[in-house]
Amino acid sequence: MLHPICTYLLLGLIIALTPLTTAQCDRAILEEATAQFVATQTSGQISVFTALADNVEYTENFQPADINTSLLATALAIDNNRSLHDTTACATYTELIITDPAHPYVTGTQMRFTDNKVSRIDMIITDEGDWLFDAAGTLLYAQSENWDPIPEDQRDTREVIRAGGDAYLNLFNDPNVEVPRYVIDETMGTVDVFLNFGGENGLPDSHEFRLEGGKLRYVHTLTVMA
Ligand SMILES: *[C@@H]1O[C@H](CO)[C@@H](O)[C@H](O)[C@H]1NC(C)=O
Ligand SMILES: *[C@@H]1O[C@H](CO)[C@@H](O)[C@H](O)[C@H]1NC(C)=O
């Protein structure tokens, strides 16, 4: 018979290993969900978003919010959208740029999936008054950049991509940074990191990094000040 402590350790080991083997999602399902997300933001109609789980958790700038009265439920004229699809973590990230002079926004949204449905949405919303906010300038940069898929034989591993972002953020050395949330897309060589800058009550922040051949190519940041 196993000693109770051994049984406990064994169980712990099994639980620790489980996510490695089960957290795999179909890219097509993730892509359909990000397309629905963009369509929902365009129309402001949550009912368009059939990929949503019934009890989806929704936050804006890391605060719980009611999805039915959220920014997502507000029709916006989107100038640019770009998404990452993480088939290992079952997660996505979408950047939207809205230059409408009536109210410009740049938003970054991470979505998490359970049983192929969107079970959690975290949206970071920047607008006038936020750090270096300039939607028109952001659009110009985004349009001049090349975010094409990286040729298959030149792709970095998730570990290399993630380490590139971590090194830039200096996460290992900064005790004030909250546990970050990652979305990694190897086909794009890109990682997006959501974190609180400056500890638990710090600023909601998104940092997105594209690496090419292990080297940093682009950095997109969103930091909410107001
Ligand atoms: C939002 O509206 C839908 C459809 O009317 C409803 O099923 C859902 O419970 C509402 N969500 C919240 C958080 O109120
Ligand atoms: C989203 O971006 C794709 C290309 O990247 C484009 O084809 C599509 O029209 C965009 N959708 C909206 C609503 O802007």
Co-location of 80 and 168 in the same domain: no
Same domain, residue pair 103 and 137: yes
What pLDDT sits at residue 202?
A: 79
- The binding-site residues of ligand 2, defined as CB within 6 angstroms of any ligand atom, are 38, 42, 78, 81
Residues 155 and 92 in one domain: no
CB of 12 closer than 8 Å to CB of 77: no
Ligand 1 close to Cβ of residue 67 (< 6 A): yes
**Residue 21 bridge partners (DSSP):** none
Residue 50 located in a structural domain = yes
127-150 confidence digits (pLDDT tens): 998 888 899 999 999 999 999 999
Distance CA 191, CA 193 (A): 7
The model's confidence at residue 197, banded by pLDDT at 50, 70 and 90, is confident
Yes or no: say if 199 and 103 are a contact pair by the CB < 8 Å rule: no
pLDDT, position 132: 82
Let me know how long the chain is: 226
- In terms of domains, do 44 and 6 share one? no
Q: Which two tokens stand for residue 111?
A: 């979505």
Confidence of residue 201 (pLDDT cuts 50, 70, 90): confident
Q: Could you tell me the distance, in angstroms and rounded to a whole number, from the CA of residue 199 to the centre of ligand 1?
A: 32
Nearest to 109 by CA among 38, 29, 54: 38
Number of domains, the chain: 2
My answer on whether 186 and 98 are in the same domain is no
Selected residue with higher pLDDT from 52 and 174: 52
Ligand found nearest the CA of 46: 1
Helical (H) or strand (E) element with 58:
strand 52-60
d(CA 44, CA 55): 19
CA of 47 to the centre of ligand 1 (A): 10
Burial (CB < 10 A; 0-12, 13-18, 19+), residue 16, is exposed
The domain containing residue 57 runs over which residues? Answer: 27-144
> What is the identity of the amino acid at 45?
Q
Is 66's C-beta closer than 6 angstroms to any atom of ligand 1? yes
- How far CA 100 is from CA of 80, 106, 107, 225, in Å, comes to 12, 11, 13, 21
- Counting ligands in written order, the one closest to the CA of 99 is 2
The model's pTM is: 0.87
Contact between 92 and 183 under an 8 Å Cβ cutoff? The reply is yes
Is 89 among the domain residues?
yes
CB 150 within 8 A of CB 189: yes
- Contact between 72 and 123 under an 8 Å Cβ cutoff? The reply is yes
**Residues 203, 224: contact at Cβ < 8 Å?**
yes
Query: pLDDT tens for residues 159-173?
Result: 999 999 888 887 656
The predicted-structure confidence for 69-110, as pLDDT tens digits, reads as follows 999 999 999 999 999 999 999 999 999 999 999 999 999 999
Give the closest ligand to the alpha carbon of residue 78. Answer: 2
Residues 71 and 172 in one domain: no
Q: Which residue has the higher pLDDT, 12 or 80?
A: 80
Given the structure tokens 């107001």, which residue do they identify? Answer: 226
* pLDDT category of residue 199 using cuts at 50, 70 and 90: low
Contact 83, 93 (CB under 8 A): yes
